[in-house]
Amino acid sequence: MANKLNYYELLELYPAATQEEIDGAFRMMLYKYHPDHNPDRPDWAHERTSEVVEAYNILSNPLKRKIYNFIIFASLKQSPAERKFGIFQGNDKKKFEEACVIFKEGVAAFDNNKNTALLKMQQACAVYKLSEGYYNTGVIYTVTNKLLDAKKAFEEAVRLEPENQHYKRVVDRLMELMREIDRARKAQ
């Protein structure tokens, strides 16, 4: 999701859009990007039409939309925060720098291969306990629909960096999302 087009932007909607607004925007964008209306760029039109259909499928389903909104809220961290090391912490600094390299490899792999990205984040955290690494691990688990694992990863990020209010809000929102999913499953 790091470089992926935002579905709300694609359909030219606000995140608070109603179902009627989503339906109307879908029809309008489908018409705008349909290959029949763009005969000079059929490949581009087909790709954009597919993106519009994918966006509509996510945003028109209330549960999928909640998950998508959570993923937007808990977006991937692109790099770890700088750390200061004292004169006697040379080994920690080396581990941190090594973990940062692995972390960035994981971020680069995120769009193409979630498993590789997850392994890189876990490897970076094994080298040096990066709260951003655990946070990104939680994001990847969420995207791959492993919410219990995501919860554990986000909680570890909070444990490592308790003053980070965003991490705490992410855990709260994830718990709310898990309750919503549980209610939806019970209603079926």
Residues 122-168: tens digit of each pLDDT: 999 999 999 999 999 999 999 888 999 999 999 999 999 999 999 99
First CA to last CA distance, the chain = 29
- Read off the pLDDT band of 177 (50, 70, 90): very high
Helix axis angle, 131-143 to 90-109, nearest 10°:
20
State pLDDT tens for residues 85-115: 888 888 888 999 999 999 999 999 998 999 9
Q: Which domain CATH number covers 138?
A: 1.25.40.10
Whether residues 52 and 113 fall in one domain = no
Say if residue 5's pLDDT is above 80. no
Q: Assess if residue 67 is contained within a domain.
A: no
Whether residues 108 and 182 fall in one domain = yes
Whether residues 40 and 83 fall in one domain = no
Q: Which two tokens stand for residue 163?
A: 């003053």
Whether residues 132 and 84 fall in one domain = yes
- pTM score > 0.85 for this model? no
Whether residues 51 and 117 fall in one domain = no
Q: Assess if residue 69 is contained within a domain.
A: no
Q: Which domain holds residue 18?
A: 7-60
